[in-house]
A = this chain, B = another copy of it.
Amino acid sequence: MRQAQRSLTLRTTGKGLLEFTGKAQAFVRESGISTGLLTLYCRHTSASLLIQENADPDVRTDLAAFFERIAPEDPRRYVHNAEGPDDMPAHIRAALTQTQLSIPVTEGCLVLGTWQGIYLFEHRSRPHEREIVLHLIGE
């Protein structure tokens, strides 16, 4: 049994879902670990992780619209406004999604379903560099 760990930096272009399934799968393959558990950890509180459908891009559009609706940019709703109108909604959207995801690995592959992709969900309006830590344990 052994472990592998890596830090991945993703550059976002502002609000929205950025797929990085290929990078996660490449890390698993390069590790040589065939059976195990991959954990993805997002080191930020205004971006998060999400498994979502990777077929129809409209799904991501509708998801983004949903989060705009339930946690809108409206400074009157929030006390914390010092970092801009998109900051507090970003923290709420991160709380409602995932900071961490773990995915089993079989025969060197993530056990993702046919339509599942791994996404970084950027909640801030401006582009950011986001750091994801990947941890793999197995054999």
By a CB distance below 8 angstroms, the chain B residues around A41 are: 102-104, 111
The secondary-structure label for the interface of chain A is mixed
Query: Can you name the residue of chain B whose Cβ is closest to the Cβ of A87?
Result: B59
Interface string of A50-90 (1 = CB under 8 A from B): 11110010110111011000110000011110100000100
Contact across chains for A91 and B52 when beta carbons are under 8 A apart: yes
CA distance A95 to B94 in the complex (A): 11
Total chain A interface residues with beta-carbon distance under 8 A:
59
A29 within 8 A of B: no
The answer to whether residues A62 and B80 also contact, given A53-B45, A113-B43, A137-B137 and a CB cut-off of 8 A, is yes
Query: Can you name the residue of chain B whose Cβ is closest to the Cβ of A71?
Result: B66
15 cross-chain CB contacts under 8 A: A1-B137, A3-B139, A36-B137, A39-B102, A41-B103, A41-B111, A44-B116, A51-B99, A61-B80, A62-B79, A63-B92, A95-B97, A98-B98, A100-B101, A100-B103
